Amino acid sequence: MTAFPDRRLRRLRTTAAHRRLFAEHDLTPRRLILPVFVKEGIAQAQPIASMPGVEQHPLDGLADVVDEAARAGIGGIMLFGVPAVRDAVGSGATSPDGILNRAITVARDAAQGRLTVQADLCLDEFTDHGHCGVLDDRGRVDNDATLAVYGRMAVAQARAGADVLGLSGMMDGQVVAVRHALDEAGHTDVVLLAYAAKYASAFYGPFRDAVESTLDGDRRTYQLDPANGREGLREADTDVAEGADIVMVKPAGPYLDVLARVADASPVPVWAYQVSGEYALIEHAAAAGLIDRDRAIGETLVGIRRAGADAILTYWAVEVAQRLARGEDLT
């Protein structure tokens, strides 16, 4: 007598229609957020060599970028500024005339409520030493002095029209400091996205090209040790207690275990950032003929969703949204 399998799990995979119906997780454009680099003083978009397909945009071209993103149906854009001049205290971050604050206003006007305008709230793009805060007289990042600057930066971004502020500096107390500054200035409706579990990662390299980072040294005294998972959960818990509306895990791919643990415990939405190095690995491997580019993009994004991300920052946001609109199977 022939022995038959007790369970035939392949039934649910029989056809593409079966697989689509029974998929446990999927992607939708509204769950995708596009990081956008805006550079001061350029007249046309400039390609970023380490990130094929990604560009630094001039302020005059930003409205078109926002319009394309809005028409694709994605959830938002995250703006990063690349200033022409930097100084020790990141003055361009708090000035209403700084490139990032001007970009926020342009993006807000172009978006017309069709997507959320988000802004990076950190000093690394604006300081001549490249750190995420101001330095003390011994050259160390001064946590509490930095919080005061973050408060002024938050108010400037809110006045410029940002819907969401991405607190990415990893300073202790940054969420409560920014929330107090915003409330005192009357900006009680601005959403705070806390980069809660942001790791000191090697995967940020291409991003530093994109923002023309001047970093001297590293950020290991304030970003998380890659060996620590529980610490990421503790950071997220702390940010929620301080009033964060959303918490972030960054990078995404190497830290899916942390993402899953944060998502299981968090009472607020959890996002993940598929960072520049993750993007570049796929693009360069695909260009070398080593992997199927389109499937690899879809597989990594679905994996991030499966780990628990409610939304994903990814440089493929518009492309993937357009593929979804065409009914393509991403994986």
Stated pTM of the model: 0.95
Angle between helices 99-111 and 143-160 (to 10 degrees): 40
- Two structure tokens written together for 215: 């970093």
The encoded tokens of residue 136 equal 């003390």
Residues with active-site annotation: 198, 250
The share of the chain scoring above pLDDT 90, in percent, equals: 91
Q: What is the largest CA-CA distance in the chain?
A: 83
Q: What is the pLDDT of residues 3-50, one digit of tens each?
A: 778 888 888 899 888 888 888 888 999 999 999 999 999 999 999 999
Measured CA to CA, the distance from residue 197 to residue 16 in angstroms comes to: 37
Q: What architecture (CATH level 2) is domain 27-243?
A: Alpha-Beta Barrel (3.20)
* DSSP states of 236-287: HHHHHHHT-SEEEEESSGGGHHHHHHHHHH-SS-EEEE--HHHHHHHHHHHH
Give me the helix-helix angle, 99-111 and 62-72, nearest 10°: 40
pLDDT tens for residues 285-327? 999 999 999 999 999 999 999 999 999 999 999 999 999 999 9
The pLDDT value given to residue 260: 98
Q: Rounded distance, CA 282 to CA 314, Å? A: 13
Domain boundaries, the chain: 27-243
| Average pLDDT, integer, range 240-254 | 98
Give the phi and the psi of residue 266 in degrees, each rounded to 5: -80, 135
The radius of gyration computed from the CA coordinates of the chain, to the nearest angstrom, equals 20
Give the pLDDT band (50/70/90) at residue 2. low
Give pLDDT tens digits for 41-60. Answer: 999 999 999 999 999 999 99
